[in-house]
Amino acid sequence: MLYREAGQFKTNYVADSAIFPLRQDRIGLGLIIIAAYALAFLGNSFLLQAVMIPFLVFSLASIGLNILTGYTGLLSLGTGAFMGVGAYACYKLMTAFPEVNVIVWIFVSGFFSAAIGALFGLPSLRIKGFYLAVATLAAQFFLQWCFIRIPWLVNYNVSGALDAPLRTLFGTPIMGPNATPQTRYLVVLTIVILLTWLASNLVHGRIGRMWIAIRDMDLAAELMGIRPLQTKLLAFAVSSYYCGVAGALLVFLWYGGAEYDVFNINQSFFILFMVIIGGLGSLIGSFFGAALIFILPIVLGIVLPAIMSPFGISVGADVIEHLRFMIVGALIIFFLIVEPHGLARLWQIGKQKLLVWPFPY
Amino acid sequence: MRAPDNPVFAKGDVLLAVENVSLGFGGVKALTDVSFDIRKSEIRAIIGPNGAGKTSMLNCINGFYYPTEGRITFKGVKRPKMRPYEAARGGIARTFQNVALFKSMSTLDNIMAGRSIKMHSNFFWQLFRHGPAMKEEVEHRRFVEEIIDFLEIQHIRKTPVGRLPYGLQKRVELGRALAMEPELLLLDEPMAGMNLEEKEDMSRFILEVNQQYGTTIALIEHDMGVVMDLSDRVVVLEYGRKIADGTPSEVKGDQRVIDAYLGVAH
Ligand SMILES: Nc1ncnc2c1ncn2[C@@H]1O[C@H](COP(=O)(O)OP(=O)(O)OP(=O)(O)O)[C@@H](O)[C@H]1O
Ligand SMILES: [Mg+2]
């Protein structure tokens, strides 16, 4: 089927304000969602556990950071810590109230990181850019200190680690050692789709316009009557909510248990790179970024040895690891210089070209 | 800002009064003891040579700067120290000398952003983009489309404004200010850098806004022809002081104004 705008006239503002005004886009999206669910039944455990679940978790965290950094223009290096708040909150809640379904606690845990995020967002009224990044860095280190030093957070576990207890949904284990990758994938996928849909609604409406207005020209935004502090704090809260839920998913539905260390500064940078490469201010870019940074190295790890072995060169795991850092680094530099709007922009250009194909314009 | 005790401002009443306003930046005095008023539904020009303090005056009126001395009364209420967003909510909109659009947004979204304060559906409905949120979105879209038709910018509705030529950007910026349905509209050199045809269009829009909606306008402009054609009264600043105030023809004949513009030394 051709990718065309022709013949699709919008007769009312509801249709014209739709997030996906093109029929082909809506069909494409539907197919992707169907394929994603089908994958739960077609893919093997490795694909689901080692590729798809983390990809979705990182996509969700990237959406979170993108709301703050991409849409509102506030740079944060505290993503890892905000994810951690979600994970620890989820742990406390589900162990304190095991009778309530864990899905509820996963969603509720995000509110804790939202509150903490908004608190650390307070300085954003006065400071921007580099200085704000440093303030969020303080949040990163302070919260990480809390994760280490407050044993209450892990119910005085001697190991000091978070572990995923057995939890079920409709009698099927979805968390803990008995939960299969398939069920965990289905849960993560559903949560990510739901939250992505909500984020998409937010960024395309009044609130999204206010965020972008603050990013593009904060003084003019204030002259439109947009309150800078409230708008920025809302961005911090919503952003941290997403990061918090992603953190809870990361520990309990992917790793199955983790220590404070997974929420360190490296995690913050990892997510930031995904957002930059994927495209600042783009939800779909968040998925692209997560895919590129997380999945590409895995693919390389499989493909490189296969290519090299006929030449008698054996590629060890350490080489792959080095290559991974080099490639990610090179990509970041490439995107910063060549396409600051990231993969999302390339995607858009591609679609524009397709709309008029086979003519050049 | 608190609403005043609901007085109705008829055409010709004093809408905004500036009394003995001074503004200093460290040693630099941008404004010295300036007083004038703006009446409901008039077009009030503020003119003067470069660096005279015109932009600073607008900045005081909409809360960017707080005068070091003097006071500003809007709609009969002496204004407390206020932030720009409070001025905006009180009914003051503005455009900038250097265009200050949200450059990644489309024309449509820029003007929609100007309606932010008029939109009230809560976060919950925004999340679902349904019910009141969608109803509101469509209602305001209709209003914004009227502005787009009025300013004749239908063809650039969905274009990111960063890609538009300067003249059109100025027009979109006017649209964004109009979206706020302001009582007082401050225009800082809306025609700077435009060619003759664009200037004529812009003059027509300003006049129509003033006449159709009764919007009070304060206009900074360097082009004397435009000022003489559009404005009801003119205040002239030089080195931060008011040197003349009156109808265009009065001001034009004033010796101090002629000297200021011809650069005669004092
Ligand atoms: N933020 C600021 N800090 C220091 N000085 C300032 C500031 N803003 C304005 N000034 C000074 O105040 C004086 C008046 O500036 P203003 O921009 O109001 O003039 P203007 O009449 O708008 O000039 P133009 O026609 O060039 O736009 C100038 O001397 C300027 O240097
Ligand atoms: Mg000026």
CATH number at residue A298: 1.10.3470
Q: Range of B10's domain?
A: 1-90+231-266
| 3-state helix, strand and coil shares in percent for chain B, rounded to the nearest 5 | 40, 25, 35
User: Can you tell me the mean pLDDT for A285-302?
Assistant: 88
Q: Which of B29, B31, B56 to mutate to test the pocket of ligand 1 (most atoms within 8 A of CB)?
A: B56
Find out whether A275 and A66 touch, Cβ atoms under 8 Å. yes
Among the partner-chain residues B113, B128, B145, the one whose CB lies closest to the CB of A224 is B113
- Distance (angstroms) between ligand 1 centre and the Cα of B163 equals 29
pLDDT in tens, A121-145: 998 888 888 888 899 999 999 999 9
Ligand 1 near B55 CB (within 6 A): yes
Residue A140: count of CB within 10 angstroms of its CB? 24
Give the CATH number for residue B41. Answer: 3.40.50.300
Q: How many domains does chain A have?
A: 1
Percent of chain A with pLDDT strictly greater than 90: 55
Contacts of A216 in chain B (CB under 8 A): 101-105
The answer as to whether A54 is a domain residue is yes
Residue at B177 is within a domain: no
The beta-strand segments (E) located in chain B are 14-25, 28-39, 43-47, 69-74, 77-78, 92-95, 184-188, 216-220, 233-238, 241-246
Does residue B146 register a pLDDT over 60? yes
A13 domain-assigned: no
The predicted pLDDT at position B7 comes to 56
Across A253-271, average pLDDT: 91
Residue B204, domain member (yes or no): no
User: Is the Cβ–Cβ distance between B101 and A220 less than 8 Å?
Assistant: yes
Helices A53-65, A283-290: inter-axial angle, 10-degree rounding: 140
Nearest atom within ligand 1 for CA of residue B52: 21
ipTM entry: 0.91
Q: Which domain holds residue A223?
A: 43-356
Q: Quick count: other Cβ atoms within 10 Å of Cβ A104?
A: 12
- B116: nearest CB among A19, A204, A206: A206
Tokens 């030089």 belong to: B238
In a domain, B50, yes or no: yes
Q: Indicate if the pLDDT at residue B211 is higher than 90.
A: yes
Indicate whether B134 belongs to any domain. no
Distance B50 CA to ligand 1 centre (A): 8
CA distances (Å), origin B227, targets A141, A327, B166, B237, B263: 59, 60, 21, 14, 19
Domain assignment present for A1: no
Q: How many CA atoms lie within 13 A of B146 on its CB side?
A: 9
Closest chain B residue to the Cα of A213, Cα to Cα: B102
Average of per-residue pLDDT across A272-295: 91
Per the structure, how many domains does chain B have?
1
